[in-house]
């Protein structure tokens, strides 16, 4: 059903416009609820398109019968978070029954359906266009931008000029003392997050903030193989499907730029023989990123050997292409069953099984959204100094330390990062001082892209908007600071809102980060082509042996099958183990994409 055009009261339209010179675009009020689309009609009217929202009325606020029933039965995010993170004995039983598959299918479909597919908006248009669908150079977006002609940057609420981004970051986000994550998240998790997301968060600085250089828009392992064919060819050995490598102390590491002449971002003082070459040009920044690049390089070449034994007649190209598909499958398996499992804190055992979705309507294509890119800036994970064995490294000693990986070796770095605690992402000011400039860049980018207020995103993802600063933060001092900066709860910006929101009990961040981030994540993972009925079969992965590699993948296997000594490896520190350590910066090179840093 559709809402009919209506005129807002003339008094409201006139008195708040800039300079009192003209009427206000009524869509600045965000009047259309429950995913209704606001269309300005004339100069003073608007229409809410309520088609297939489950609501009707002028502002899409009147529920249809089935919607009313669904809403009455739908548990709140806080309720199901509590259920999923308590009663371990109950979930131990559920995890060994068919109910686990039923619940996993429900989780996947509900989450994925929150992401529009095909995409609706991009950064250039606040309405549906062919460009939003066809031009993959753009990041997509879930909500249209705030109209340009609104009285305030947040529509109708808040100050006519937003507070300085640097001030917002210093007042609300900057760490005073390191706050460890209560879930025991470690640096192995932190570096995995950064390494993994750098394949699809690649803002194109030359084209603008709304554009991406990662045209695959998902898990394509461009950070391993490069994001274009020329880079891929320079990294390939063209023998038995393998990637180029070098041997140091009898161990395999990425080649140098002398052997793989590709563009990598390193300071000028680092000689070429110490510059390792990887699919992602920024991975020389941190030893933790180069650690994962090394592990995946070894895994690629190991799987090539396995396929060569199974298929001695295959040529180099088929070995390479099939190995890439296997590693994509391994990545998705590890992300869902190790990474997301840890992040959620759920006792329900998550499962990577594409066949769970074969009987439901699902689109196997993904587009990376601006909001997902903004949300995933998890810099508070980084501690104040990095501890490896008995040595503590400051920020200056750690960044662009190109020989740390080969000096310590994979095993020692994995163990050190697995045993050092990462920071809590939200709920408390925990942004390292060295990374504050990246947070400032995120806030400034959101303003250039005119992201809607934090509360509008809560409503879009099925949550109730906050009605007070105290309700948002759960802390009087923080609430006072946020109110002093924004004046109105409906004017709080998207990224600051995510980080100041009170955390869920014993969780790394708040409700909104989960409810907004999870749909993007699961849609991106299960929307991968390898999860489709056409791809998800043993022959795609070289037969039963390759399919087995995908279906049995785990973080521990990934590491331990590629080292001589299996170290302690996990995404959480051992019980009783704590640590602290230095935050890497966004880097000094102008070529880097600081807005996409961890």
So which residues are the catalytic ones? 198, 376
Give the tokens for residue 393: 């490294």
Q: Is the distance from CB of 123 to CB of 138 less than 8 angstroms?
A: yes
Is beta strand 140-141 parallel, antiparallel or unpaired with respect to 121-122? antiparallel
Mutual orientation of helices 316-334 and 287-310 as an angle, nearest 10°? Answer: 130
Residues 6+ apart with CB under 8 A from 344: 84, 350, 514
Nearest 5 degrees, angle CA 400-CA 403-CA 409?
125
Transcribe 459-478 into DSSP letters.
HHTT-PPP-SHHHHHS-HHH
Mutual orientation of helices 511-526 and 77-84 as an angle, nearest 10°? Answer: 70
Residues 6+ apart with CB under 8 A from 291: 191, 405, 410, 413, 414, 417
Q: Where are the beta strands (DSSP E) in 216-284?
A: 246-248, 251-253
Cα(61)–Cα(31) distance, rounded to whole angstroms?
10
Cα(438)–Cα(378) distance, rounded to whole angstroms?
11
Q: Tell me how far CA of residue 475 lies from CA of 21, 455, 502, in angstroms.
A: 41, 18, 8
Per the listing, tokens 């995913």 go with: 35
Burial class (CB in 10 A: 0-12, 13-18, 19+), 437: middle
Per the listing, tokens 């970051």 go with: 169
List residues bridging with 536 in a β-sheet: none
Give the tokens for residue 31: 């009047």
């Amino acid at each position: 059903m559709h809402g009919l055009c209506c005129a807002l009261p003339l008094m409201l339209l006139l008195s708040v416009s800039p300079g009192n010179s003209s009427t206000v675009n009524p869509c600045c009020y965000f009047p259309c609820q429950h995913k209704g689309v606001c269309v300005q009609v004339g100069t003073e009217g608007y229409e809410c398109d309520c088609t297939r929202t489950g609501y009707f009325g002028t502002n899409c606020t009147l529920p249809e019968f089935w919607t009313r029933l669904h809403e009455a039965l739908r548990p709140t995010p806080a309720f199901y978070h509590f259920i999923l993170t308590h009663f371990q004995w109950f979930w131990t039983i559920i995890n060994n029954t068919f109910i686990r598959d039923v619940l996993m299918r429900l989780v996947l479909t509900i989450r994925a359906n929150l992401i529009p597919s095909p995409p609706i908006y991009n950064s250039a248009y606040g309405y549906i266009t062919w460009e939003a669908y066809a031009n993959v150079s753009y990041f997509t977006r879930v909500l249209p931008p705030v109209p340009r002609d609104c009285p305030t940057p947040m529509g109708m609420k808040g100050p006519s000029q937003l507070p300085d981004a640097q001030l917002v970051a210093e007042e609300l986000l900057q760490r005073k003392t390191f706050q460890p994550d209560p879930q025991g998240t470690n640096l192995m998790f932190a570096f995995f997050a950064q390494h993994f997301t750098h394949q699809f968060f690649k803002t194109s600085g030359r084209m603008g903030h709304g554009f991406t250089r990662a045209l695959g828009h998902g898990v394509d392992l461009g950070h391993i193989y490069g994001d274009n064919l020329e880079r891929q060819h320079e990294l390939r050995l063209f023998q038995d499907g393998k990637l180029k490598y070098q041997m140091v102390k009898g161990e395999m590491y990425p080649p140098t730029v002398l052997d793989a002449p590709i563009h990598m971002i390193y300071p000028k003082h680092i000689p070429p023989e110490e510059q390792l070459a990887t699919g992602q040009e920024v991975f020389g920044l941190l030893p933790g990123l180069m650690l994962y690049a090394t592990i995946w390089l070894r895994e690629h070449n190991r799987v090539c050997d396995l396929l060569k034994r199974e298929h001695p007649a295959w040529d180099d190209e088929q070995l390479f292409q099939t190995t890439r598909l296997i590693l994509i499958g391994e990545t998705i398996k590890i992300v869902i069953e190790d990474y997301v499992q840890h992040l959620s804190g759920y006792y329900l055992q998550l499962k990577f099984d594409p066949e769970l979705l074969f009987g439901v309507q699902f689109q196997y294509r993904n587009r990376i959204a601006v909001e997902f890119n903004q949300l995933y800036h998890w810099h508070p994970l980084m501690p104040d100094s990095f501890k490896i064995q008995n040595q503590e490294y400051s920020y200056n000693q750690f960044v662009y330390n190109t020989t740390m990986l080969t000096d310590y070796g994979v095993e020692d770095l994995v163990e050190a990062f697995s045993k050092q605690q990462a920071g809590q992402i939200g709920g408390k000011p925990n942004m390292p001082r060295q990374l504050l400039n990246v947070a400032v860049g995120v806030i400034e980018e959101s303003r250039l892209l005119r992201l809607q207020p934090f509360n509008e995103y809560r409503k879009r993802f099925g949550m109730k908007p906050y009605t007070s600063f105290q309700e948002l933060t759960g802390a009087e001092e923080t609430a006072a600071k946020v109110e002093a900066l924004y004046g109105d709860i409906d004017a709080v910006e998207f990224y600051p809102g995510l980080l100041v929101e009170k955390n869920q009990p014993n969780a790394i961040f708040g409700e909104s980060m989960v409810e907004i981030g999870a749909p993007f994540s699961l849609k991106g993972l299960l929307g991968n082509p390898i999860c489709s009925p056409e791809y998800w079969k043993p022959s795609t992965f070289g037969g039963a042996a390759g399919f087995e590699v995908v279906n049995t993948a785990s973080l521990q296997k990934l590491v331990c099958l590629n080292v001589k000594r299996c170290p302690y490896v996990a995404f959480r520190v051992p019980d009783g183990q704590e640590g602290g350590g230095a935050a890497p910066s966004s880097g000094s090179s102008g070529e880097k994409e600081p807005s996409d840093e961890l």
